[in-house]
Structure 1
Amino acid sequence: MKKIVSFTFLFFMLGGVVIAQSKINWLTFEEAAAKTQENPKMVFVDVYTDWCGWCKKMDKETFTDPKVVAYINENFYPVKMNAENTKRKFMFRGREYTEATMAATMRVRSYPNFIIMDAAMENITQYPGYRQPEPFLTGLTGILEKFGK
């Protein structure tokens, strides 16, 4: 009986955590770089454009799914980067970038595109294209299993 009560309590607590995290805690690229120096963690970069319909669909359907939100917030420093923004400038490794020049440096050519970086801020892989929540989580889990945390 004690195990059932403990399991039920744990189930509701974990469920509450998923519900409590209603949105992804998006950062700028430079915020993620600073955070990973303080506390090493992989970086997830969502590279999008304003005109991209599939990007908007990802924002509306996949990036609002409670499981996706919890998984990304727990395992990554998430970054939103507009591949056509040439106005906002930031420094990275002694060079000045815009979001557009950083996207080009990362060799992003299609949208949406997701860049996975390790804690040293090195690109590990690209994960391009629209995906519904479950396949998206399956793919991210596979990436984490392959490249480690």
Structure 2
Amino acid sequence: MKKIKGYLFSTTSLMVAFIILGFSSNPKKEVSEVKQIKWVTIDEAQRLSKKEPRKIFVDVYTSWCGYCKLMDRTTFTDPDVVDYVNQHYYAVKLNAESDKMIKFHGKTLAEGDLANAFDVTGYPTIVLLDEKMKTADAQPGYRKAKAFLKMLKQYKE
């Protein structure tokens, strides 16, 4: 009887240990596998583009913009969008209401002033720049992942 109790206790203890180990290792694995867009500053995009020319997309946003936040949660986390952007573009976030000073084309100006220079009037707006940092297009409004990816692919051609 003591042998059976000892056996049951040992078996139960091992099962509990395996279950605990199994649950504790899963969240770490899932978190490390999440892909993200490699966001850079406009200054970094200019430097990187000199070394390895790529087109640039600028996500012009504000802190209060609901659709900007929705794009951050959905469009910009879509695995297909993340992969395509990281391979073919430099991605920049620009706060249209920020006084943070940046350099663009050799001039120092606030992020908000650059948004005005891009003629942004609504949020979110995606400003597309060519490899030489010249404005090619500005696309206002929220876009789901498929529509956003289609826009980037058309511009890349």
TM-score normalised by length of structure 2: 0.76
Deviation, 1:68, is: 0.5
* Number of equivalenced pairs: 126
2:74–2:145 CA contact under 8 A, matched in 1:
yes
Q: Secondary structure at the match of 1:124?
A: strand
* Structure ID, larger Rg: 2
Identical pairs, percent? 40
Q: Establish whether residue 127 from structure 1 lines up as the match of residue 139 from structure 2.
A: yes
What TM-score do the two structures reach when normalised by structure 1? 0.80
Structure 1 position 76 matched with structure 2 position 81: no
**In 2, Cα distance between the equivalents of 1:46 and 1:126?**
10
Q: Quote the residue 1:4 is aligned against.
A: none
Residues 40-55 of structure 1: matches in 2 within 5 Å?
A: 40-55=53-68
**Pairwise CA distance, 1:21:** 6.6
Which residue identity does 2:131 align to in structure 1?
A
Runs of 4+ more than 4 Å apart: none
What residue ranges of structure 2 are gaps of 5+ in the alignment? 1-31
Aligned equivalent of 1:100: 112
Say whether the 8 Å CA contact 1:113–1:127 is kept in structure 2: yes
Against the structure 1 CA distance between its residues 64 and 35, is the aligned structure 2 distance closer, same or farther, given a 3 Å change threshold? same
Structure 1: gaps of 5 or more residues: 1-18
Instruction: Calculate the aligned-residue CA RMSD, in Å.
Output: 1.4
2:29 equivalent in structure 1: none
Q: Report the Cα distance in structure 2 between the residues aligned to 1:133 and 1:96, rounded to whole angstroms.
A: 33
For 2:60 and 2:46, locate their aligned partners in 1 and report how far apart those are by CA, in whole Å: 16
Corresponding residue SS for 2:137: strand
Q: SS of the residue aligned with 1:63?
A: helix
